[in-house]
């Protein structure tokens, strides 16, 4: 949800639900938890007579997402380095054997 919202200033609840392919209840529960954490802003209003809810990341939410993605990238980089080291070790032991 946060990755989707990072790509826009604000998104309607239904667009988030449809993109994430989860139920209304799941979006509501996650949005409430993210709002309580200070990562998400929930804005309610209406379009015509129909009630609408819009979701947007707060600056703290954008920072948290950036840090999370950086941590994931660090894990992937470490795995790549470990794999390269294991491959080099296997090649070296194969030549020595």
Of residues 17, 64, 1, 67, the one with CA closest to residue 37: 64
Mean pLDDT, rounded, of the chain: 92
DSSP bridge pairs for 40? 57
- Record the tokens describing residue 55, joined without a space: 């979701």
What angle, rounded to 10 degrees, do the helices at 13-20 and 24-36 form?
110
Residues ≥6 apart with Cβ < 8 Å to 44: 51, 52, 53, 54
- State pLDDT tens for residues 64-83: 999 999 999 999 999 988 88
**Residue in this structure with the two tokens 């707060």, named with its chain if needed:** 58
pLDDT category, 85, cuts 50, 70, 90? Answer: confident
């Amino acid at each position: 949800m946060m990755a989707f919202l990072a790509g826009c200033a604000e998104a309607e609840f239904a667009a988030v639900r449809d993109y994430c392919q989860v139920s209304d209840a799941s979006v509501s529960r996650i949005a409430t938890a993210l709002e309580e954490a200070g990562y998400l802003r929930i804005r309610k209003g209406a379009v015509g007579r129909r009630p609408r809810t819009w979701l947007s990341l707060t600056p703290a939410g954008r920072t948290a997402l950036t840090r999370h993605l950086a941590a994931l990238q660090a894990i992937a980089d470490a795995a790549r380095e470990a794999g390269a080291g294991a491959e080099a070790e296997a090649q070296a032991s194969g030549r020595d054997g």
